[in-house]
Amino acid sequence: MTDDLIRKEMRMIKDLGANFIRLGHHQQSRLVLDLCDELGLMVWEEVPWCRGGLGGDRYQTQARDMLRAMIDQHFNHPSIILWGLGNENDWPGDFEAFDQEKIKAFMTELNVMAHQLDPSRQTAIRRCDFCKDIPDVYSPSIYSNCAQVELFVNGVSAGTRTRNSQDFPAAGLRWLVTLREGENVIRWMES
């Protein structure tokens, strides 16, 4: 994408009223994070461990290196509130073996590493039910056609919402979540 297109899309996100964005599972352009800082968008940044279980030693070394590089390079962006550790890691089929205990152990390793590299921010994953107690924030699959959603914060259920709830507009679920770290309170809408 060109810089002009990135600027246009980020401005559109802000103009929609968003105050939180979960970025894709790849290294982001510096401009994206600069604009999030400038526009006041809170960011969940993702490491590229996405789907399919867990690869071998080389794969795991690369995932560690990418997490370390992401945090080292983007540590000074005030917009980042969550370091993403993985996405849909419970989805089997991308590797020959699928071992939940090895996935959990590696997720735990990444979580510890992220907190060592940046103790001021929380960690998050999306949809890996058997790992939901590892990161600080767990997000199950949230789609506008789902019947019920449960959100986990710091490994504890923050409750559920159903399709009939007033918090569930036609465009999807909008749920105010409050995370407390010391005296700081962060609020965002998950949709």
If you write DSSP's letter for every residue of 47-87 in order, what string do you get? -S-BSS----HHHHHHHHHHHHHHHHHHTT-TTEEEEEEEE
Taking CA 107 as the corner, what is the angle to CA 81 and CA 61, rounded to the nearest 5 degrees? 100
> Three-state secondary structure along 149-178?
EEEEECCEEEEEEECCCCCCCCCCCCEEEE
Helix, strand, coil shares, percent, the chain, to 5 = 30, 25, 40
**Residue listed under structure tokens 């390079």:** 73
* 87, 46 contact by CB (below 8 A): yes
Of 9, 38, 46, 88, the catalytic one is: 88
Q: Has 88 been annotated as catalytic?
A: yes
Q: How many angstroms separate the CA atoms of 76 and 180, rounded?
A: 20
- Tokens for 29? 């352009």
Q: How many angstroms separate the CA atoms of 5 and 22, rounded?
A: 18
Catalytic residues: 88
